[in-house]
Structure 1
Amino acid sequence: MGILLRSLVAAGLAVDAVVHWKYAPDMAYVPGGAIGGDTLFKVQAVVAAVVAVLICFVARRWTYAVAFLVAASALGALLLYYYVDVGEIWPFPEMHDPMWYWEKTASVVGEGIAAVAAVAGFLVAGRERSPEGERARS
Structure 2
Amino acid sequence: MERSEPARHRGQTAVAVVLRVLAAAALSVDAVVHARLAPGYQAAAPGGLGEGNLFVAEAVAAALVGLYVLIRGSRPAWVLALLVAGGGLAVLLLYRYIDLPAFGPFPAMYEPVWFFDKTLTAFAQAAVVILAAAALILHRRTRRA
Using structure 2 for the length normalisation, give the TM-score.
0.84
Question: How many angstroms apart in 2 are the aligned matches of 1:42 and 1:28?
Answer: 10
Tell me the CA shift for residue 30 of structure 1.
3.1
Question: How many angstroms apart in 2 are the aligned matches of 1:115 and 1:52?
Answer: 12
Query: Equivalent residue for 1:18?
Result: 32
User: Relative to 1, partners in 2 of residues 1:38 and 1:50: Cα closer, same or farther, differing over 3 Å?
Assistant: same
Question: How many angstroms apart in 1 are the aligned matches of 2:105 and 2:21?
Answer: 34
Alignment partner of 2:135 out of 121, 127, 131 = 121
Tell me the CA shift for residue 38 of structure 1.
1.3
Compare relative contact order (CA 8 Å, sep 6+) and give the higher one, 1 or 2.
1
Q: Is the 8 A contact 1:20 1:44 kept in 2?
A: yes
Question: How many angstroms apart in 2 are the aligned matches of 1:84 and 1:33?
Answer: 25
Aligned residue type for 1:13: L
Q: CA RMSD in A?
A: 1.6
Query: Equivalent residue for 2:4?
Result: none
How many percent of aligned residue pairs carry the same amino acid?
35
Q: Does 1:94 align with 2:108?
A: yes
Between structure 1 and structure 2, the one with the greater Rg is: 2
Question: How many angstroms apart in 2 are the aligned matches of 1:46 and 1:5?
Answer: 21
Q: Is the 8 A contact 1:59 1:125 kept in 2?
A: no
Residues 1-138 of structure 1: pairs in structure 2 closer than 5 A: 1-31=15-45, 35-128=49-142, 130=143, 132-133=144-145
The secondary structure found in structure 1 opposite 2:53 is: helix
What is the aligned residue count? 131
Question: How many angstroms apart in 2 are the aligned matches of 1:96 and 1:45?
Answer: 20
Question: How many angstroms apart in 2 are the aligned matches of 1:91 and 1:8?
Answer: 34
Query: Equivalent residue for 2:7?
Result: none
Unaligned 5+ residue runs, structure 2? 1-14
Unaligned 5+ residue runs, structure 1? 134-138
Structure 1, residues 97-121: CA drift from partner, whole Å, max 9, x if none? 1121111110011000011101111
